[in-house]
Structure 1
Amino acid sequence: MFEIPCVVITNDNLLPDNLLDLFTEKQVAVFQTPLSTRSSAISLFPIPERPTKRRPMP
């Protein structure tokens, strides 16, 4: 079993009161955003740029 560090609610959805109460009791951070799940994920976990291919030295 593991602890949940946080919950992210996207698309301006609402968390039911009973879950909010449970997360508050367990001291789990709850974040709410109007962004889509995809946009939120990209904002939280940006995709690193791919390294450019190096040309061989002459």
Structure 2
Amino acid sequence: MKIKDKEIYEIFLSLSYSQLKDLFRKAKSKQEQDFIKVLVPSTLILKMYRVVLSTIMMEY
């Protein structure tokens, strides 16, 4: 995976839920854990939105 060309949010979007949980467990500081806690819910919501949107688009 090319990380240098991606924004941090795009990197989070490319990770699965289990990978995100693993990333949280491996966080070295409370600040890292807090950062991940903030991004994970919005990442999961955006993934769901993409699935719903693609499903709607397939119907038309």
More helix by share: 2
TM-score (norm 2): 0.30
TM-score by length of 1: 0.30
Bigger strand fraction:
1
